[in-house]
Structure 1
Amino acid sequence: MTGSPSLHLTVRRRRAIARDVAEFELRRIDGGDLPEWRPGAHIDVVAGSGLVRQYSLCGDPGDRTSYRIAVLRQSDGRGGSAWLHEQLHEGDRVVVGGPRNHFPLEPAPHYLFLAGGIGITPLLTMIREVSGEGADWSLHYGGRTRASLAYTGELRTIDASRVRVVPFDECGLIDLEAALDEAAPEALVYCCGPEPLIAAAEAACARRGLRLRTERFSPKQTGSRVDTPFTVRIASTGAELAVPADRSIVDTLIEAGVDVLTSCAEGTCGTCEIAVLDGRPDHRDSVLTDEEQAAGDRILPCVSRSRTPRLVLDL
């Protein structure tokens, strides 16, 4: 979490909410208010010896006294979720950064939510909000088994008639075609979950012309590209730095002593986003929408590069 401001929190409560899923309620050590956030936001959690992982906030945005996250233990992960499950208990302290929001809830007359497994966490807060506002919405929620699906009871309390739970061992995969066929033409689709679900939703929504917003847990596959060297210019100082073919913009900036916020280093969290004043980015992130990438006025320098010989960064 290089250069990131941090909060020192304590675990007020921990509970199991589904198979291999633990929920943590975090509060400030001094009992003060936490920074505000909106549905779709996440925090960076320092897990163990320097590991930083992003977890969506799934509590009540109106509650400034606590943050709530739900963590799936991933046996094939990089150790962050295992550390939280094994080492973080009630009363323990933890360092977090944020919150940040690259998956905001936008106004729409109709919403279709598609969740896969732990991908329900950012969508839960959105559903609470749109339901409270009286908006039209529906949720299709898939996972391996019924026991592995978190917050199904809470979702049914909000409005059981709008929730379709799809355990794979009972029903197979979410029927995306049927779900999208039922969506109104002006619906806004929100999807969060594993890459196969998101990729399928992207393809299906594109065929129908439906608006789609996604949040990924792993980098989007962008295909193989040849990396070439280029130059970045720091707008505030005029300094120009050579970015080699085998180094990222972020690494080049940090090595030159430029303070850059960075966390995931794989283009999924959005922490390192920088405004671009000149030049054309080669976007390789999984955060910016197609429209945002086409605008070319920002870049995630941990993974993205340049299509022009030089980029001018607002630093």
Structure 2
Amino acid sequence: MTIMLRVEARRHAASGVLELELASPDGTLLPAWEPGAHIDVRVGDGEYRQYSLCGPPGSRQAWRIAVLREPDGRGGSQWLHDAVNTGDTLEIRGPRNHFRLETAPRYLFIAGGIGITPILPMLAAAESAGAGWNLVYGGRSRETMAFRDELARYGDRVQIRPQDESGLLELEPLLRGISPETRVYCCGPEALLDAVERLAEEFEVGSLHTERFRPQPLEDARPAGAFEVELASTGTVLEVPAERSVLSVVEAAGVDVLSSCAEGTCGTCETRVLAGEIDHRDSILDEGQRAGGDRMMICVSRCLGARLVLDL
């Protein structure tokens, strides 16, 4: 669903981080959402960028996002920083959630830099549920770490660890011997996620949830080959060559499919699979979801056999 939202406020959240508050121009309530959700924002080049909702959990009067200026990015963040002002209207899709907070008696949250954004409403939800939790939040410096003032109300359950003061986050003491009932949620730079995943495997952490801003490198990926996709609604069979994605092939055939990142990180193009074996290449689905064999991100994932039947 696409909606038009007005920028009600813009604030300086940290060095290089812009906070935007979005609301319906006519005061209509916004769609419901849960912690971990993100929205797609159409930027100046006509493409969409993904930003986590970081306001009060479930708020429907207004949504809040925080945008890190990325000078070496694709230009979307710079456009939002430089060209968007209070009163402007933005085209929004979503929300969607592939980083959902699951019920647990205890949580460990680990955030790096702008990765604090999906974690913020999770803290409020965990607090409201009466769960035990702790947050370790790292960044380059205090000046670059957004929402420190908001986090201060949680006292010593929040550890602020600027790299220029205390070095890299010490992850091993956090994850070694963690209780089985503790769910771990981590969002941040790729190096942080890789380190957390490596230690979680080493220490047999039972429940780790991560969200990536960039695609995870594929290890031992088999060479891409050609295969067929069948569109269940019409019975049309399309060939997907080795050098093209399922998404590009179905779009060329006139099928209207929502998509955004084209990297397997946002989940916009998630499609139900009715038959066939999937070669998952996304950075979203966990092992249990992949084992289900009933969904795929058609921008990057492929087929392990000869044909996939898609719910399109």
TM-score normalised by the shorter chain: which range applies?
over 0.9
CA distance in 2, matches of 1:112, 1:285: 25
Match for residue 189 of structure 1? 184
Q: TM-score, normalised by structure 2?
A: 0.97
Q: Indicate the percent of aligned positions where both proteins have the same amino acid.
A: 54
- Please report how far the alpha carbon of residue 148 of structure 1 lies from its aligned counterpart in structure 2 after TM superposition: 0.6
Q: Matched residue of 2:164: which SS?
A: helix
Residues 9 and 93, structure 1, Cα contact 8 Å, conserved in 2: yes
Counterpart check, 1:252 vs 2:249: yes
Counterpart check, 1:26 vs 2:19: no
Counterpart check, 1:148 vs 2:144: yes
| Alpha-carbon displacement from aligned partner over 1:256-293 (angstroms, at most 9, x marks no partner) | 01121111111000011111111111111011011111
Mapping of 1:255-270 within 5 angstroms? 255-270=252-267
Match for residue 119 of structure 2? 123
- Please report how far the alpha carbon of residue 297 of structure 1 lies from its aligned counterpart in structure 2 after TM superposition: 1.3
- Please report how far the alpha carbon of residue 182 of structure 1 lies from its aligned counterpart in structure 2 after TM superposition: 6.2
Mapping of 1:98-247 within 5 angstroms? 98-157=94-153, 159-181=154-176, 183-210=178-205, 211-223=207-219, 225-247=222-244
Residues 36 and 61, structure 1, Cα contact 8 Å, conserved in 2: no
Match for residue 63 of structure 2? 67
Please list every run of 5 or more consecutive structure 1 residues that lacks an aligned counterpart in the other structure.
none
CA distance in 1, matches of 2:180, 2:95: 33
Point out the more displaced range, 76-85 or 206-215. 206-215
Counterpart check, 1:279 vs 2:279: no
Residues 116 and 188, structure 2, Cα contact 8 Å, conserved in 1: yes
CA distance in 1, matches of 2:302, 2:58: 39
Residues 272 and 295, structure 2, Cα contact 8 Å, conserved in 1: yes
CA distance in 2, matches of 1:207, 1:230: 37
CA distance in 2, matches of 1:136, 1:251: 45
CA distance in 2, matches of 1:183, 1:137: 12
Match of 2:47 among 27, 47, 51: 51
4+ residue stretches of structure 1 with deviation over 4 A? none
- Please report how far the alpha carbon of residue 175 of structure 1 lies from its aligned counterpart in structure 2 after TM superposition: 0.7
How many residues matched?
Answer: 310
- Please report how far the alpha carbon of residue 51 of structure 1 lies from its aligned counterpart in structure 2 after TM superposition: 2.3
Q: Matched residue of 1:26: which SS?
A: strand
Match for residue 91 of structure 1? 87
Counterpart check, 1:302 vs 2:299: yes
Q: TM-score, normalised by structure 1?
A: 0.96
Residues 35 and 58, structure 2, Cα contact 8 Å, conserved in 1: no
Residues 229 and 243, structure 1, Cα contact 8 Å, conserved in 2: yes
Q: Matched residue of 1:36: which SS?
A: coil
Please list every run of 5 or more consecutive structure 2 residues that lacks an aligned counterpart in the other structure.
none
> Cα RMSD between the aligned structures?
1.1
| Alpha-carbon displacement from aligned partner over 1:150-204 (angstroms, at most 9, x marks no partner) | 11111121x2111111111111111110111363222110010011111111111
- Please report how far the alpha carbon of residue 140 of structure 1 lies from its aligned counterpart in structure 2 after TM superposition: 0.7
